């Protein structure tokens, strides 16, 4: 892509508030990097919504083009790792936080941040998964590395109606797990059962202060909530089980006891999706390609236009978005006529 293209850009106001503007950019405006990617699709994650609304200090470099996920086609490469026309996907590495991100027609990034887009997925498919799906895959792989299998007992997924949770339910179901899905939206129960959940519990069962040890209920768990929810599900995890912690929608604190760790041998597995090494990233995308039929994404994904990004981010934080959101045809939507 040559010439001018539009982008969503964040500025820091005089009072520290986040100001959202539409900017017209050229390739010369972009940050340093050795690969230019024409952005075909992106998405809105919880972190993106926080950045766009200023509700949390996600952005650490100003001004900032937000968007932590992208999929597209290499438009120019100054690295031997990639050639023009290659299909790629990028999750994390400070995109949308310290390095200009995906809400633009052209992104300039570092070559070793990119992963080849699995042949099974289109750019839209990949962003139907995005960081949420990739994080869910990292979490499933972590539980498997710990040695857990469906024969050990049920697996709990918190925030099951959200992006990470819904993909985690689908991935675990594909491997034969009995899934307990925790959600604050019980009306989504049938949808979650369609993804593979067997039991649905209301998130209130886990969100309040709990006991150091409670009745053993599951052998494994994937948690994107944190705080009291994570503390409670640790207290209910079976002996020698494990919990993969990958999010903080309910808070960064962990008001827990050491009891599950020293009396039941429970493990807490931290999932870092932002700076995960390339080998892990490839394994995660390979697992997504292996276990998720792209047709399943139709039940996970809502597609919006580029102009809908900011209002959708607000709805996401207010709990009004189910599953995943895809912004498709970004390069075309941001093209400036005559640019």
Mean of the per-residue pLDDT values of the chain: 94
Q: How confident is the model at residue 2 (pLDDT cuts 50, 70, 90)?
A: low
So what CATH class is 5-117+300-333? alpha beta
**What is the pTM for the complete model shown?**
0.90
Q: How confident is the model at residue 295 (pLDDT cuts 50, 70, 90)?
A: confident
Pick the CATH number of 131-270 from 3.30.43.10, 3.40.50.720, 3.30.1490.110, 1.10.10.10: 3.40.50.720
pLDDT of residue 227: 97
Instruction: Convert the pLDDT of each residue in 203-260 to its tens digit.
Output: 999 999 999 999 999 999 999 999 999 999 999 999 999 999 999 989 999 999 999 9
User: Which one of 1-10, 74-83, 313-322 scores highest in mean pLDDT?
Assistant: 74-83
Strands (DSSP E) found in the chain: 5-12, 18-25, 35-43, 69-77, 87-91, 106-109, 115-116, 155-157, 179-183, 199-202, 218-223, 237-245, 267-270, 301-304, 324-328
Angle ∠(46,49,51) on CA atoms, nearest 5 = 110
Structure tokens at 67: 């968007």
Q: What is the mean pLDDT of residues 139-163?
A: 96
Higher pLDDT, 162 or 327: 327
Are 43 and 325 spatial neighbours (Cβ–Cβ below 8 Å)?
Answer: yes
pLDDT of residue 165: 93
Q: How confident is the model at residue 1 (pLDDT cuts 50, 70, 90)?
A: very low
Q: How confident is the model at residue 50 (pLDDT cuts 50, 70, 90)?
A: very high
How far is the C-alpha of 170 from the C-alpha of 189, rounded, in Å?
A: 14
pLDDT of residue 338: 61
Pairing of β 301-304 and β 324-328: parallel
> Is 166 strand, coil or helix?
helix
Q: What is the mean pLDDT of residues 34-50?
A: 95
The alpha carbon of residue 286 and the mean position of all alpha carbons in its chain are separated, in whole angstroms, by 16
pLDDT of residue 162: 87
Angle ∠(279,326,26) on CA atoms, nearest 5 = 85
Higher pLDDT, 163 or 175: 175
Angle between helices 46-53 and 309-317 (to 10 degrees): 110
Burial degree of 79 (CB within 10 A; 0-12, 13-18, 19+)? middle
Region of poorest pLDDT, from 166-170, 177-181, 292-296: 292-296
pLDDT of residue 300: 78
Instruction: Convert the pLDDT of each residue in 185-209 to its tens digit.
Output: 889 999 999 999 999 999 999 999 9
Judged against a pLDDT cut of 80, whether residue 339 lies above it is answered with no
Domain positions in the chain: 5-117+300-333, 131-270
> Is 66 strand, coil or helix?
coil
Are 168 and 221 spatial neighbours (Cβ–Cβ below 8 Å)?
Answer: no
Q: Give the whole-number percent of the chain exceeding pLDDT 90.
A: 84
Longest Cα–Cα distance of the chain, Å, equals: 68
Instruction: Convert the pLDDT of each residue in 257-281 to its tens digit.
Output: 999 999 999 999 999 999 999 999 9
Closest CA to 288 of 157, 175, 160: 175
Are 310 and 317 spatial neighbours (Cβ–Cβ below 8 Å)?
Answer: no
């Amino acid at each position: 892509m040559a010439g001018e293209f539009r982008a969503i850009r964040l500025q820091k106001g005089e009072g520290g508030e986040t100001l959202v503007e539409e900017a017209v950019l050229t390739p010369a405006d972009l940050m340093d990097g050795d690969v230019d990617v024409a952005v075909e699709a992106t998405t809105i994650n919880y972190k993106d919504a926080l950045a766009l609304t200023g509700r949390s200090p996600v952005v650490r470099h100003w001004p900032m083009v937000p968007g932590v996920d992208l999929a597209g086609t290499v438009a120019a490469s100054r690295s031997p790792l990639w050639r023009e026309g290659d299909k790629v996907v990028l999750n994390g590495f400070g995109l949308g936080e310290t390095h200009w991100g995906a809400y633009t027609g052209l992104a300039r990034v570092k070559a070793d941040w990119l992963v080849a887009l699995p042949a099974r997925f289109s750019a839209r498919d990949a962003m139907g998964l995005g960081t949420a799906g990739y994080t869910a895959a990292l979490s499933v792989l972590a539980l498997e590395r710990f040695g857990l299998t469906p024969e050990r007992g049920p697996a709990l997924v918190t925030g099951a109606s959200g992006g990470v949770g819904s993909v985690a339910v689908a991935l675990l179901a594909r491997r034969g797990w009995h899934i307990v899905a925790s959600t604050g939206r019980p009306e989504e129960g049938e949808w979650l059962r369609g993804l593979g959940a067997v039991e649905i519990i209301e998130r209130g069962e886990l969100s309040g202060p709990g006991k150091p040890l409670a009745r053993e209920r599951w052998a494994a768990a994937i948690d994107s909530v944190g705080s009291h929810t994570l503390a409670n599900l640790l207290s209910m995890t079976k002996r020698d089980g494990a919990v993969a912690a990958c999010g903080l929608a309910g808070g960064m604190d962990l008001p827990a006891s050491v009891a599950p760790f020293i009396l039941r041998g429970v493990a807490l597995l931290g999932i870092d999706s932002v700076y995960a090494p390339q080998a892990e990233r490839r394994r995660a995308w390979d697992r997504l390609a292996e276990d998720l039929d792209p047709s399943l994404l139709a039940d996970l994904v809502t597609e919006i236009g580029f102009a809908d990004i900011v209002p959708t981010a607000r709805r996401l934080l207010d709990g009004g978005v189910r599953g995943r959101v895809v912004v498709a045809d970004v390069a075309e939507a941001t093209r400036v006529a005559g640019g």
